[in-house]
Structure 1
Amino acid sequence: MSAPPRSGDGGTGPTREQIRRWRRYLADERAEGAVYRHLAARRDGEEREILLGLAEAELRHEQHWRELLGEHAADPGKGELGTRLLGWFARRFGWVFVLALAQHAEARSGYEAEADATDAMAADERVHGEVVRALAARGRARMSGTFRAAVFGMNDGLVSNLALVLGVGASGVGSAAVLVAGVAGLLAGALSMGAGEYVSVRSQRELLAASVPDEHAHESLPALDVDANELALVYRARGMDADEATEHAAAVIAQVRAGQAVPRPDAARSYEEVGSGWAAGLSSFCFFASGAVIPILPFLLGMTGNAAILLAAGLVGIALLSTGAIVGVLSGGPALRRALRQLGIGYGAAAITYALGLLFGTTVV
């Protein structure tokens, strides 16, 4: 794609609207490149090289807009607010969170509809989105067990204790009884969540361990009969068809006979997405407690009656919106929709419990 004529090239030069648009693109490319460089500084090995490669590609895009702008390229500004916020996050927060945001930013690239961008630039942005998606997936895999426990713990604490506080409060008992019920719900729920998450993750790891191939089984390969052995059955049991399994078994035995090493199964990869039982349990306990304390904060501060209940509901609503938005960003989904869904579910459960408290008017002894 040829560039539009600029001043001094025998043409009429770029319009004021083109200059404004090109300067914005230039500023955004500079800011995006800075995000990748900041992220690369916090990584090492292959991930660092990939991020620096993305930053290098953004420099190519910068150069395209600089050539179009010519003398107008000086001081293009700081880029869009979203891109600048992304850079701020890159300097201060975990890289999975920032990569999830960067994935959204790359997906919003307008180069496909931009007549002054080349086809290669539009293709670059699509590929960048896939690269960032893959990097973010690595981070999500490493944190998924603990993150799941944290999210579930926080939301369970928020919703269950708000429902408990509203239900007990609606029954007509005093604020002291509501506070006692809330603290009891916090402790019981946090202990239950922590223990349950530990058992769940530990059991999952044990199930995976039972399915991982024996890493010492390869030591028997040299003693197998070349013409009559059951190695092919192993590969068929793992999913290969009969011909492929027979061929693969013959190749493995040939490797062994030639003194070549046969790769051992990597058991560690099976556990990567499950996480540690202790980490998941502790995370679930702490996050449940941090969520469950929010509904009882007004009562801890000495508030009573409807004012305390309304403030508790408001604080929980803000927390539900926040956790829902964070989950949406990290999972690659729409943040606002996830936040509103979280709020609706939490308030729905609390409203039902409050209505039951009004209906029965029970007294806490």
Structure 2
Amino acid sequence: MSMQSPAVPGAPNDPIAVPEPVPMPLTSVERHLAHRSNWLRAAVLGANDGILSTASLVLGVASAGAGSAAIVTAGVAGLAAGATSMAAGEYVSVSSQRDTENADLALEKRELAASPAHEHDELLTIYRNRGLSQGLAEQVAQELSTGDLLRTHARDELGFDLDRLARPVQAAWASATSFAIGAAVPLIAIALASGSSRIPVAIVVTLLALGVLGVSGARLGGAPMMRASVRVVVGGIFAMGVTMGIGLIVGSAV
């Protein structure tokens, strides 16, 4: 008489099949700190220049013995001149970069149309130089060739992403805006202060603003905050000291 194991209610008779893992869809792309480099550089540079150049200007004029009206006028003129200059300079610089990118893309598009086999071999060489085996490099190049070839060659051969091309207007606007915001800090401080407290108040406010800017830039860029803050503040002390010294010399000589 054979013994049979009691059946478990609801249990299947067939062996349990282990389902294959299903790959999770890519819903987002991880953003690295290096992706912020372009706009972060423009914003930090613009704000730093705005704070420091305007503070140095108004402190130099104040050290020469000018009155409140002359100091504020010089500060406003410096703010306007600096913001427009930063915008123009950034626009020209980034436009040149964009022109270079467009020229490279046009050349690559012509080469893809004229000699696709040669461009395929270039991809193979790139992937082999990155450490892939010949077979895997061939597989990767073949797989990527079924998609957007220009995008693939722009990324792997030319070294830039079509989604992150240089934007001259955006860069110019960011530089001008950050400069104006930075310049307004020492200008407002020295305009609201009066008498003998005008210069000390402007210096303290400027150094505090530079310190905050250094910490903010370091946090956004993932750099050591103390080192960045000290670097910016020391540079500010040097620039304001030189400008105030020149103002004192010129003020006493005129």
1:215 match? 109
1:310 to 195, 200, 225: 200
* 1:210 CA drift (Å): 2.3
Could you report, residue by residue, the CA deviation over 1:30-64 in whole angstroms, capped at 9, with x for unpaired residues? xxxxxxxxxxxxxx8134xxxxxxxxxxxxxxxxx
Q: Given the alignment of the two structures, is residue 264 of structure 1 paired with residue 158 of structure 2, yes or no?
A: no
1:145 match? 38
CA spacing shift, 1:172–1:300, aligned 2, 3 Å? closer
Could you report, residue by residue, the CA deviation over 1:261-301 in whole angstroms, capped at 9, with x for unpaired residues? 47513148446566421111101101100111111113433
Across the aligned residues of Structure 1 and Structure 2, the Cα RMSD in angstroms comes to 3.3
Give the Cα separation in 2 of the matches to 1:272 and 1:306.
Answer: 54
- Do the aligned partners of 2:112 and 2:119 also contact (CA within 8 Å) in 1? no
* 1:356 CA drift (Å): 1.0
Give the Cα separation in 2 of the matches to 1:265 and 1:203.
Answer: 21
Give the Cα separation in 1 of the matches to 2:252 and 2:243.
Answer: 12
Counterpart residue type for residue 224 of structure 2: P
Matches within 5 A, 1:1-365: 45-47=27-29, 135=30, 138-212=31-105, 214-215=108-109, 217-221=111-115, 261=146, 264-266=149-151, 267=154, 269-270=160-161, 275-301=166-192, 303-361=193-251
* 1:144 CA drift (Å): 2.3
CA spacing shift, 1:314–1:264, aligned 2, 3 Å? same
1:108 match? none
Give the Cα separation in 1 of the matches to 2:183 and 2:64.
Answer: 20
Could you report, residue by residue, the CA deviation over 1:208-262 in whole angstroms, capped at 9, with x for unpaired residues? 232335235433457x8xxxxx668967998989xxxxx99xx79xx7xxxx847
- Do the aligned partners of 2:37 and 2:221 also contact (CA within 8 Å) in 1? no
Counterpart residue type for residue 86 of structure 2: M
Could you report, residue by residue, the CA deviation over 1:135-166 in whole angstroms, capped at 9, with x for unpaired residues? 4xx34344322221110000000000111011
* 1:329 CA drift (Å): 2.0
SS of the residue corresponding to residue 65 of structure 2 reads coil
Give the Cα separation in 1 of the matches to 2:149 and 2:44.
Answer: 36
* 1:171 CA drift (Å): 0.6
Name the structure, 1 or 2, with higher relative contact order (CA <8 Å, separation 6+): 2
Give the Cα separation in 1 of the matches to 2:183 and 2:241.
Answer: 17
Rg bigger for which structure? 2
What is the TM-score with the length of structure 1 in the denominator?
Answer: 0.51
- Do the aligned partners of 1:141 and 1:272 also contact (CA within 8 Å) in 2? no
Give the Cα separation in 1 of the matches to 2:82 and 2:119.
Answer: 50
Q: Identify which range, 154-163 or 321-330, moves more after superposition.
A: 321-330
* 1:187 CA drift (Å): 0.3
Could you report, residue by residue, the CA deviation over 1:310-362 in whole angstroms, capped at 9, with x for unpaired residues? 11111111111111012222222210121111111011101110011111216
Give the Cα separation in 1 of the matches to 2:62 and 2:230.
Answer: 25
Give the Cα separation in 1 of the matches to 2:49 and 2:39.
Answer: 15
What is the TM-score with the length of structure 2 in the denominator?
Answer: 0.71
CA spacing shift, 1:141–1:274, aligned 2, 3 Å? farther
- Do the aligned partners of 2:210 and 2:229 also contact (CA within 8 Å) in 1? yes
Counterpart residue type for residue 343 of structure 1: V
- Do the aligned partners of 1:150 and 1:283 also contact (CA within 8 Å) in 2? yes
Q: Structure 1 regions of 5+ residues with no counterpart?
A: 1-43, 48-134, 225-229, 242-246
Seq. identity, %: 34
SS of the residue corresponding to residue 66 of structure 2 reads coil
